Amino acid sequence: MLVMDTILRVVAYGRDVEAALEAALTEARRLEALWDRHRQGSEIWRVNRSAGSEPVSVSPETVALLQAALQFAELTGGALDVTIGPVVDLWGFGSGEGRIPPGQLLREALHLVDYRKVRTDAERGTVGLAEEGMSLDLGAVAKGAAVDALWSVLKEAGVRSALVDLGGNIRLLGSPPGRPEWLIGVQDPRDPSRLLGYLRLAGGAVATSGDYQRYFMVGGRRYHHILDPRTGWPAAEVASVTVWAPTALQADALSTALFVLGPERGYEMACSLPGVEALFVLPGGQVKLTPGMQSVFRVNPP
Ligand code: ADP
Ligand code: MG
């Protein structure tokens, strides 16, 4: 099933799970319609269209997602910045036609990237962007937030054992039938048909940000979709980052942010956050894991 431009996979065990799956799918479609900035009339489309003028009324889950995204921006010193829209547009990610933008245009677009210029008001239920030309792109956080929402729908419908996976953003519910842990494969970023290893997890959420998912090649160089908000260029210090965290939103936001921060600063940040573990794959193929990740990662299947 295609949702948010990627594959939605829900595995639920138990009797009578059909209604729960149906409800989860409905929720996925609802959130996609709110958060897709390219969809005319979506809440994010309306916020972007009103940039520089009045804040726009949006649903509570949209305010909540933006407030969470702004907190991650603060936490990561702006490595995650959902106002990256103008820069994403210049590179052509999302439209499918990648190109290297002229430096002058990139510099102009970078002036419009600043999460501190997002205004959210939970009481009024509004979101606004302070300057004309700014635009939100929730590509780094929407899938994680949607996975958490689907997870809650399944749980409330009485499902006890499930895995929700939206384009590699995964959240686990309960344990798989007859086994204490789920096995989650970690792809080799240089050969995604191959697995580097497995995570054996009893719960939580996992997300991977990689340079192999959306990219184009020019002159033998890879230009991919995870951009450093300070430079406007693809972050180049790692090939992929996998994060294990309590919620899918945390895992999604942090996998993107740690990718931008790189294997030194990103690693330190992962170690400093309770309940967060990370696995970095460097461009040369070396793997760097936080201690908690080391204890759940296995190179070979059991
Ligand atoms: P994926 O979409 O493959 O799951 P991510 O979760 O890492 O990967 O999100 C990458 C997407 O987020 C990009 O396609 C773009 O839309 C947006 N983005 C890119 N760089 C940043 C950034 N530094 N901060 C916030 N969003 C970003
Ligand atoms: Mg992400």
| 91-142 pLDDT per residue, tens | 998 776 889 999 999 999 999 999 999 999 999 999 999 999 999 999 999 9
At residue 37, the pLDDT reads 96
Using alpha carbons, select from 122, 139, 141 the residue that is nearest to residue 247. Answer: 141
Quick one: 185 and 125 in the same domain? no
At residue 3, the pLDDT reads 87
- Cβ–Cβ contacts within 10 Å for residue 180, how many? 8
Q: What is the DSSP letter of 84?
A: -
Note whether residue 149 is domain-resident: no
Average pLDDT, the chain: 96
Quick one: 124 and 187 in the same domain? no
Find the ligand nearest to 169 CA: 1
Ligand 1 atom nearest 143 alpha carbon: 4
CATH for 190? 3.10.520.10
Question: Is the Cβ atom of 252 under 6 angstroms away from ligand 1?
Answer: yes
Question: Is the Cβ atom of 211 under 6 angstroms away from ligand 1?
Answer: no
Note whether residue 275 is domain-resident: yes
CATH for 100? 1.10.3980.10
**Ligand 1 centroid to 276 CA: how many Å?**
19
From 112, 129, 146, the end of a domain falls on 129
More confident residue, 93 or 46: 46
Quick one: 279 and 213 in the same domain? yes
For 242, the domain range is: 181-298
Instruction: Provide the domain count of the chain.
Output: 2
Quick one: 255 and 193 in the same domain? yes
At residue 301, the pLDDT reads 61
**Ligand 1 centroid to 15 CA: how many Å?**
37
CA 54 – CA 20 distance, rounded (Å): 39
Q: Which residues surround ligand 2, an ion (CB under 5 A)?
A: 140, 252, 255-256
At residue 1, the pLDDT reads 77
Question: Is the Cβ atom of 80 under 6 angstroms away from ligand 1?
Answer: yes
Question: Is the Cβ atom of 37 under 6 angstroms away from ligand 1?
Answer: no
At residue 221, the pLDDT reads 87
Note whether residue 237 is domain-resident: yes
Instruction: Collapse the DSSP code of 65 into the 3-class scheme (helix H, G, I; strand E, B; otherwise coil) and give the result.
Output: helix
Question: DSSP string spanning 146-159?
Answer: HHHHHHHHHHHTT-
Ligand 1 atom nearest 168 alpha carbon: 4
Note whether residue 23 is domain-resident: no
Ligand 1 atom nearest 79 alpha carbon: 23
Note whether residue 104 is domain-resident: yes
Q: List, in sequence order, every residue forming a beta bridge with 187; answer none if it has no partner.
A: 195
Note whether residue 18 is domain-resident: no
Mean pLDDT of 210-235: 92
At residue 234, the pLDDT reads 96
Quick one: 187 and 293 in the same domain? yes
Mean pLDDT of 59-75: 98
Question: Is the Cβ atom of 6 under 6 angstroms away from ligand 1?
Answer: no
Quick one: 194 and 289 in the same domain? yes
Mean pLDDT of 6-31: 95
CA 259 – CA 140 distance, rounded (Å): 11
Find the ligand nearest to 84 CA: 1
Instruction: Answer whether residue 157 shows pLDDT above 80.
Output: yes
Instruction: Answer whether residue 266 shows pLDDT above 80.
Output: yes
Question: Is the Cβ atom of 139 under 6 angstroms away from ligand 1?
Answer: yes
Mean pLDDT of 262-275: 98
Note whether residue 172 is domain-resident: no
Instruction: Answer whether residue 300 shows pLDDT above 90.
Output: no
Instruction: Answer whether residue 143 shows pLDDT above 60.
Output: yes
**Ligand 1 centroid to 226 CA: how many Å?**
5
Q: Rounded to the nearest 5°, which phi and psi values hold at 178?
A: 75, 5
**Ligand 2 centroid to 15 CA: how many Å?**
33
Question: Is the Cβ atom of 209 under 6 angstroms away from ligand 1?
Answer: yes
Note whether residue 26 is domain-resident: no
**Ligand 1 centroid to 273 CA: how many Å?**
21
Looking at residue 257, its amino acid is A
Instruction: Answer whether residue 302 shows pLDDT above 60.
Output: no
pLDDT band at 297 (very low <50, low <70, confident <90, very high): very high
**Ligand 1 centroid to 141 CA: how many Å?**
8
pLDDT band at 47 (very low <50, low <70, confident <90, very high): very high
Question: Is the Cβ atom of 43 under 6 angstroms away from ligand 1?
Answer: no
Count CA atoms within 13 Å of residue 47 on its CB side. 31
From 86, 113, 129, the end of a domain falls on 129
Mean pLDDT of 48-75: 98
Considering the chain, what percentage of its residues have pLDDT values greater than 90? 90
Find the ligand nearest to 6 CA: 1
Quick one: 120 and 189 in the same domain? no
